[in-house]
Structure 1
């Protein structure tokens, strides 16, 4: 249950920040927060990361529903073990739901975190995207740790 609370908090925080941007900023307005590094920029995205598959909402609906179903299945399967894996799943689920809400109600995703990292103008993103990224990284790390623990163990024949 506690992992679903993490998911809920991510969704709520994501939606609240998107709502604040949509309510208080015009599209493409930008406010510099950390000079030369971080801006809050009101942007919309009808695609996935970096705008790929722009306008393919039906595909995002199908994929998101499948991903949510798989995540809930695995969260139930592993609910009493692997806490860091479960946190990773909760972050992915929260991020997926956060962007799914935008796609369903707005037909686009509200993005606003605008970074310039070592001269690279990173694509604008949101908290749901950040949660998805952190969750995927946690899941990969847990899979690598599990693989290293099991390396050298032979399956009994």
Structure 2
């Protein structure tokens, strides 16, 4: 049983590290190779690379806060939450695989963005999608990790709600 738990812990840390690594490598390349506000069309103006620095959170929320408040809300608080999240996923071995993977994506993406905020004072964003009625803000791979994590947790929540009522009906 101890070997199975060791493998689980290694996989959790590997998924978190892969999310952080992909994010940080992509941001490093963008910082070196793309100029600010340069637009590089990848797929006919639908998938565009453009480098911007975001000192706020999602869609620049909190960008205008005083620096000390922004540091507390966007650096210190997230470090505490992400630290607890990592502790939680590592210590709760009864969580479903989907929940564990979803949390790993959330934590990895969160760490990627917080790392940038602490090291550089801002987060490098560079991906933009524009499909007419579907248009995104500029984001990065950490944001993609976070959204995948949320989607996985949402799917797990739906599964639990669908499976539980069905199992309760069988017991009646």
TM-score, with length taken from structure 1: 0.89
Aligned to 1:41: 50
- Output the CA distance in 1 between the equivalents of 2:88 and 2:154: 15
Of the structure 1 ranges 28-37 and 48-57, higher mean CA displacement relative to structure 2 is found in 48-57
- Output the CA distance in 2 between the equivalents of 1:45 and 1:105: 13
Aligned to 1:13: 22
- Output the CA distance in 1 between the equivalents of 2:73 and 2:135: 28
Number of aligned pairs? Answer: 154
Aligned to 1:51: 60
Aligned to 1:129: 143
SS of structure 2 residue aligned to 1:132: helix
Output one character per residue of 1:24-75: Cα deviation in whole Å (capped at 9) or x when no partner: 1111111100002001111111111111111523211133123212312321
The gaps in structure 2 that reach 5 residues or longer are: 1-9
> Which of the pair has more CA radius of gyration?
2
- Output the CA distance in 1 between the equivalents of 2:136 and 2:25: 23
- Output the CA distance in 2 between the equivalents of 1:19 and 1:145: 38
| Contact map agreement 1:78 1:86 (CA 8 A) in 2 | no
Alignment of 1:96-111 (within 5 A): 96-111=110-125
The gaps in structure 1 that reach 5 residues or longer are: none
Aligned to 2:38: 29
| Contact map agreement 2:19 2:108 (CA 8 A) in 1 | yes
Of the structure 1 ranges 41-50 and 111-120, higher mean CA displacement relative to structure 2 is found in 111-120
* 1:121 to partner: Cα distance: 3.4
TM-score, with length taken from structure 2: 0.82
* 1:94 to partner: Cα distance: 0.5
| Contact map agreement 1:46 1:57 (CA 8 A) in 2 | no
- Output the CA distance in 1 between the equivalents of 2:151 and 2:133: 24
The structure with the greater share of residues assigned to helix is 2
- Output the CA distance in 1 between the equivalents of 2:163 and 2:71: 41
